[in-house]
Amino acid sequence: MSYKFTIGHYVYEFENLRVLLAKASPLRSGDVLAGLAAASAEERIAAQIALADVPLVNFLNEDFVPYESDEITRLIIDGQDQQSFAAIKHFTVGALRDWLLSDEASAAAIESISKGLTAEMVSAVSKLMRNQDLILAAKKLEVVTRFRNTIGLKGHLSVRLQPNHPLDDLRGIAAGVIDGLMYGAGDAVIGINPATDNPHKIAEIIHMLDRLRLQFDMPVQSCVLTHVTTSIQLIEQGVPVDLVFQSIAGTEKANSSFGINLSILEEAHEAALSLNRGTVGKQVMYFESGQGSALSANSHFGVDQQTCEVRSYAVARRFDPLLINSVVGFIGPEYLFDGKQITRAALEDHFCGKLMGLPMGMDICYTNHAAADQDDMDNLLTLLGVAGINFIIGVPGADDIMLNYQSTSFHDAMYIRKILNKRPAPEFDRWLQHQGLFDANGPKPHTSARQLQELTSTILGLC
């Protein structure tokens, strides 16, 4: 059905929910590139006003991508929980926004309706929210996950240690791991993007990280971010895989361009669970996503890039992940042009993921052709820290020499923990103190040179 709003003498008409959501999206280059964005600032707000009055139930009757041809639409619609929805089924999108911000909407109250919301409802409500609304509502929510430690508790902030090396050199990777551990990073995961997809090389990296963990009795998990089918193969060969990684997107066709579908993910999930390697929990999946991926695979079906992104969270939700992050600024300026657009998208992704019940982290990042710099990343890091982000990425000096982009550094992670008084994951925090690397206030001013020498030579010996 179509939706209308009149400003002055001009009647803005939006032919369906898909178009309405796209026009209501805060400006970003990817929606312009796709030809979906509002043609004027006025049209954008007209769409937002019209969207505010749309009853949530309308979302159950209008497909964004056809149910018959898209398994993610089927996952969303078939998985929508009518019981959770009952309490809010009389809401419009605008009423949902006001309710989420109200004192009445406690964490427990929001969690009780979460499974009644479809991805498109979540995307819709975020479009009516200002940045501070996205922060306030997300901050209410606590999504806690466990494998060998506990991630996402209030008052804690974890870091993925990302010691990538352009040649996958084991000692090069280990050097980055040591650097990160010294700065208190690694509690989300020690996660490496391999330069190669050679299974033998990937197995070598996994074995090295596992020896490292066992040698120092570290309460952490490792992951080599290779394709899910490679991880399945490695698990079958008895390689000690902690977490299975996969990039995901919000339409079946986009996922198919990544070489995956729901049944492959199911198979991977079961394979990882079968190893039973977690000690305090069994959440074994790690996902990455990002606005613009469906459009770049030419499989967005006229759906705006943020709605596609939230649809990918429906995929993630199905597999109960330990970690999920959007790689927000990696995709480039044709999707998110500058620091302002990257910031907005990241706050949306974090809020929408949390509202869907996901343990959201964020790769706070940009490429050199985007109009952004470290100051933009500082701002976004601070905003997401306040919003209660579960984890961020830690790259030595914020400069990923393998993927050629800029993320956040170990120093950035210490900054955000310090100013917001956040601690690492509790098990990892105790380990850092036990090793003498940290005290109750954070990193020790001077680690003993002899101890350090022992640590580094032991670690290099494991390579």
Partner 1 sequence: MLEKTNEIAIKDLWEELRLFTAARIALGRTGVSLPLSESLKFKLAHAHAQDAVYSDMDVNAIETALDGLGITHVMVESGATDRTTYLQRPDFGRKLSANSTALLQNKRSIQKDICIVIADGLSAFAVNENAVKVTSLFMESLSSKGFTFTPVVLAKQARVAIADEIAHHLNARLSVILIGERPGLSAYDSLGAYMTYMPQPGYTDEKRNCISNIRDLGLPPDVAAEKLRDLVVRSLQLKLSGVNLKDDDRPLLL
Enumerate binding residues for partner 1 (CB under 8 A).
29, 32-33, 163-166, 169, 171-176, 178-179, 182, 333-334, 337, 367-369, 373-374, 395-399, 401, 404, 406, 409, 411, 414-415, 418, 442-443, 445-447, 449, 452, 456, 460
Which 8-state DSSP code applies to residue 3?
A: E
CB of 211 to partner 1, least distance (A): 17
Q: Give the span between the Cα atoms of 134 and 113, in whole angstroms.
A: 17
Nearer to partner 1, 250 or 396 (CB): 396
Q: Give the span between the Cα atoms of 159 and 176, in whole angstroms.
A: 14
What does the longest C-alpha to C-alpha distance in the chain come to? 78
CB of 171 to partner 1, least distance (A): 4
Listing DSSP states for 8-31 in one string gives TTEEEEESSHHHHHHHHSPP-HHH
CB of 165 to partner 1, least distance (A): 6
Listing DSSP states for 368-391 in one string gives TTSB--HHHHHHHHHHHHHHT-SE
Residues 6+ apart with CB under 8 A from 27: 37, 38, 44, 341
Q: Give the span between the Cα atoms of 280 and 39, in whole angstroms.
A: 51
CB of 243 to partner 1, least distance (A): 22
Nearer to partner 1, 8 or 35 (CB): 35
Strand-strand pairing, 10-14 and 3-7: antiparallel
Nearer to partner 1, 295 or 356 (CB): 295
CB of 388 to partner 1, least distance (A): 20
Nearer to partner 1, 169 or 266 (CB): 169
Q: Give the span between the Cα atoms of 58 and 449, in whole angstroms.
A: 65
CB of 330 to partner 1, least distance (A): 12
Contact 184, 424 (CB under 8 A): yes
Nearer to partner 1, 132 or 448 (CB): 448
Nearer to partner 1, 397 or 461 (CB): 397
Question: What percentage of the chain's residues is helix, strand, coil (to nearest 5)?
Answer: 50, 15, 40
Nearer to partner 1, 153 or 371 (CB): 371
CB of 452 to partner 1, least distance (A): 5
